Structure 1
Amino acid sequence: MTIRVLVVDDSATMRGLITARLRADPMIEVVGQASDPHDARQAIKKLNPDVITLDIEMPNMDGIEFLDKIMRLRPTPVIMISTLTQRGADVSLKALEIGAFDCIAKPTGGSSDDFDTLVEKVKAAANSRRRSRRQDTVRRGADASFMPDDRIIAIGASTGGVEALIAILSQFPPNCPPTVISQHMPATFTRSFASRLNNLCAASVSEATEGAPMEAGRIYLAPGDFHLEVSGAGTYRCRLSDGPKVNGHRPSVDVMFRSVLRAVGSRSIGVILTGMGRDGAEGLLALRQAGAETIGQDEQSSVVYGMPRVAYEIGAVSKQLSLERIGEALVRLANVHQTSMQRA
C-alpha cells in the first residue's frame, strides 16, 4: 500500500529536500506541499494524507498550535521537523506530548543521522495507532503506605516514549525506587525532557551523571548520545559510556538492561515500552531468565508495537500491561509491604 504524505514547511528548500528523500522510496507518495498552516489545512481536507511532516517554526501560526488543532480535530500521524537548538528541543518535546508521532532534526549541512531515519519513521507512522490530544497528567502525591524495597527499576522506550513515560512516572510516589531510563532521542533533547519530567513527577528526575549514587526518590534519564549503565553491589551508581551504538542506538536499552543484570540481578524490574525496532528485547530476556520481574507495554496502548512486540515474542515479558496499568504495577511490585505479604 502506498503511503500518502503531505509536506508542510515554510522553506521551499526544505520542502524540496524532504520531498526528494521521501520520493526515493517506492512505497511513499508525496501528495502535496504547503508553506504555512492555512495552506496545509486546505491540503489536509482535500488530500487526506496518511502522514504529515510539519515544520515547528512557520509564519501565521506556529507548528505547535497547528499540531494541537490537528490532534483535536483530525488526528493524523505527524512527524515534526525541528532544529537542534535548545528552543527546538523544548518545542519538540511539547509536540510529542500533544501527540506528534516523532521529531527529527533538520540537516545542518548535507545529511544527518537523524534525518536519514525520515523514510523509516514515515512508514512506522503510517502503521501507528492514531492518537487524539493527550489529557493532562495528574501527579501522584505522597503515599504513606508505600515504602520502597531494595529493587531497581529500569525502563526502556523509543517512539511514543515521551507520552508513555509521563503517564507512568507521574504515578510514582516521591520516595519511588531508584529508576534508570534509556529513551531514544536526540542528544539536545534529554536535558529538556528530564526537566519536563521533574516538573510533572513527585519524584526527582534528572539526567544521569557519571558516578551518581542511585537513591530512593530519584529517577535518572540517560543523557543523549551516552549509554547509561548501573554498577556496584549494594550501593549502586550510574555509569555513562560513549561506546559504540548498540542496535543502532546510544543510549541503548539493551546496554542498560545488561548492566542492571550484572549489578542487581533478580532484585530488578525491567520495563520495555513503545518503540520501533528491537532494542532492549534481548536484555529484558536475560533479566527475566535471572528471575527479575519484567513488564512489556501491550499492543493496544503502544504507539509503535515494535520493541515490546519483539520482547513478548521471545519470552522476555512476564507481564504484558496497558500503559494505564504499568505505573501502578511498578509501585505495587516495589513496595516493601507488598513484598512482605508475598513472602508471608
Structure 2
Amino acid sequence: MTIKVLVVDDSALIRTVLVHMLVVDSDIEVVGTARDPIDARQKIKALNPDVVTLDIEMPNMNGLEFLDRLMRLRPTPVVMVSTLTTKGARETLLALELGAVDFVAKPDGNLEGALELFGAELRDKIRAAATSDVGAHTQRRDRPKAAIQTAAGPEGALIAIGASTGGVEAVRAVLCAMPADCPPILVAQHMPAGFTSRFAARLDSLCAVTVIEAEDRLALRTGHAYVAPGDYHLRVERRSGQLRCRIDQRALESGHRPSVDVLFASVAQSLGALGVGVILTGMGRDGARGLKQMRDAGAHTIGQSRASSLVYGMPRVAHEQGAVVEQAPLEDIAQRLASALGRIRPAA
C-alpha cells in the first residue's frame, strides 16, 4: 500500500529536499506540500494524507499550535522535522506530548552522508507513523492516570524499560505513575544526542521519582530513574555489591545506540531474578532478544499491549519470541511493576 504524505515547511528549499528524499522509495507518495499551517489545513482536508511531516517555526501559526488543533479536530499521524538545538529539543518533546508520532532531527550539513541517513530515517519513521492509531492514542493520553502508592522491592532490585516510536509519552505515563520508593529504573529510549537531557529534565519536572540523564559509573539509588544519553549504550554493572550505570559508544546493537537489547542483556547478567523488564511501543525488534535473556534469567517481563501501543512492533516481536511473561495496557503497567516487585524473593 502506498503511503500518502503531505510535507509542511515554510522553506521552499526544505520542501523540495524533503520531497526528493521521500519519493526515493516507491511505497511513499508525496501528495502535496504546504508552506504554513493555514495552507496545510486546507490540503489535509482536500488530500487526506496518511502522514504529515511538520516543521515547528512557521508563519501565520506556530507548528505546535497547529498540531494541537489537528490532534483534537482531525487526528492524523505527524512526524516532526526538528532542529538539533536546545530550543528545538524542548519544542519537539512538547510536540510528542501533543500527539506527534515521532521526530527526525535535521542534520548538520557538515556531516558526510548526513542527508542520506536523515532521508532513510525519515522514510522509516513515516512508515511507522502510517501504521499508528493516533486517534485512539490521543483519547488514552487525555485520560487521568492515578499514581500507585508503593512499589518497594527487595534490596538490589531494578526496573529496566525500553521504548522507541511513541515511547516518549509511554515512558512518561509509566514513570509518572511510579512512587518515590521504587527501585532504580533504567530507561533506553531511542533518541538522538541533544534530546535526552531535555527528555530527562521534562520527566523530572512531572514525576515523583527523580529522573536524570545517566552518567558513567553513577551509583544507582532508590527513587531515581536514569535515561540513556542519546548515541550512548546504557548498561548496569554490579561492583562490590553496588549497582552502577555504565555508558559507552560501542557499535550499534540491533541497529540502535542506545540499544534496548544492550540494557536488558546487562540486567539479565547482573541481576537475574532481581530485575523486572518492560518493553514499550516502538517499531522494529530491538529489545526482544535482551528481554528473553532477562526472562530466562528469572526476571519478570512485561510487554505493552497491542491496543495501547502507538506502534506495536517491539512488544509484538518480544511476545512472539517468548520474552514476555505478561502483556498489559499502558495505564496498568506501573501497577503490574509494583506487583512483580512484591513477588521478588530477596537475594540470599
Q: TM-score range by the shorter chain?
A: over 0.9
* Contact 1:137/1:167 (8 A) holds in 2: no
Contact 2:279–2:315 under 8 Å retained in 1: yes
1:171 pairs, out of 150, 169, 177, with: 177
Deviation at 1:299, TM superposition (A): 0.8
Equivalent residue number for residue 190 of structure 1: 196
Q: Which runs of 4+ in 1 moved over 6 A?
A: none
Instruction: Read off the aligned partner of 1:245 and give its amino acid letter.
Output: L
Gaps of 5+ in 1: none
Tell me what 1:264 maps to.
Answer: 271
TM value normalised by structure 1: 0.94
Match of 2:221 in 1: 215
In structure 1, the residue corresponding to 2:123 is in which secondary structure?
Answer: helix
| 3-state SS, counterpart of residue 61 of structure 1 | coil
Supply the AA of the counterpart residue of 2:306. Answer: E
CA change 1:219–1:39 in 2 (3 A) is same
How far is 1:173 from its partner?
Answer: 0.5
- 1:44-66 Cα distance to aligned partner (Å, 9 max, x none): 11111110000111111111110
SS in 2 for 1:186: coil
Change in CA separation of 1:185 and 1:114 when aligned onto 2, cut-off 3 Å? farther
Q: Give 3-state SS (helix, strand or coil) of 2:316's partner.
A: helix
- Which residue identity lines up with residue 35 of structure 1 in the other structure? R
Match of 2:129?
125
Post-superposition shift, 1:23?
Answer: 1.2
Partner letter of residue 288 of structure 2?
A
Residue 58 of structure 1 aligns to a residue whose secondary structure is: coil
SS in 2 for 1:113: helix
Tell me the distance in 1 between the aligned counterparts of 2:274 and 2:344.
12
Specify the SS of the correspondent of 1:111.
Answer: helix
State the 1:290 CA deviation.
Answer: 1.2
How far 1:149 moved relative to its partner? 1.7
Aligned residue identity for 1:44: I
Residue 266 of structure 2 aligns with an amino acid whose one-letter code is S
Which deviations, in whole Å up to 9, do the C-alpha atoms of 1:288-333 show, x marking residues without a partner?
1111100011111111111111100010000111111111111222
RMSD: 1.7
Moved more, 163-172 or 125-134: 125-134
The residue number in structure 2 matching 1:248 is 255
Q: How far did 1:154 drift? A: 0.4
2:21·2:119 contact (CA, 8 Å) conserved in 1?
Answer: no
Aligned positions of 1:324-339 closer than 5 A: 324-335=331-342
The residue correspondences of 1:60-139 to structure 2 (distance < 5 A) are 60-109=60-109, 111=115, 113-131=117-135, 132=138, 134-135=141-142
* Aligned twin of 1:55: 55
Match of 1:39?
39
| SS of corresponding position for 2:117 | coil
What percent of counterpart residues are identical? 54
Q: Report the CA distance between 1:5 and its aligned residue.
A: 0.7
**CA positional deviation for 1:121:** 1.2
Query: In structure 2, what is the equivalent of residue 11 of structure 1?
Result: 11
Q: 2:115 is paired with a residue of what secondary structure?
A: coil
| 3-state SS of 2:172 partner | helix
Residue aligned with 1:17, SS? helix
The answer for the alignment partner of 2:166 in structure 1 is 160
Contact map agreement 1:139 1:201 (CA 8 A) in 2: no
1:12: Cα distance to partner?
0.5
AA partner of residue 135 (structure 1): D
TM-score, length-scaled by structure 2: 0.93
Post-superposition CA distance 1:212-261 (Å, at most 9, x none): 11111111100111100000153200011111111111100111111111
Partner Cα distance (1:282, 1:138) in 2: 31
Q: How much has 1:112 moved relative to structure 2?
A: 5.6
Work out the CA distance in 1 between the residues paired with 2:121 and 2:213: 25
Read off the aligned partner of 2:330 and give its amino acid letter. Answer: L
Pair 137,14 (structure 1): closer, same or farther in 2 beyond 3 Å: farther
Query: Is the 8 Å Cα contact of residues 188 and 263 (structure 2) preserved in structure 1?
Result: yes
The answer to whether structure 1 residue 304 and structure 2 residue 308 are counterparts is no
> For residues 128 and 151 of structure 2, what CA distance do their matches in structure 1 show?
39
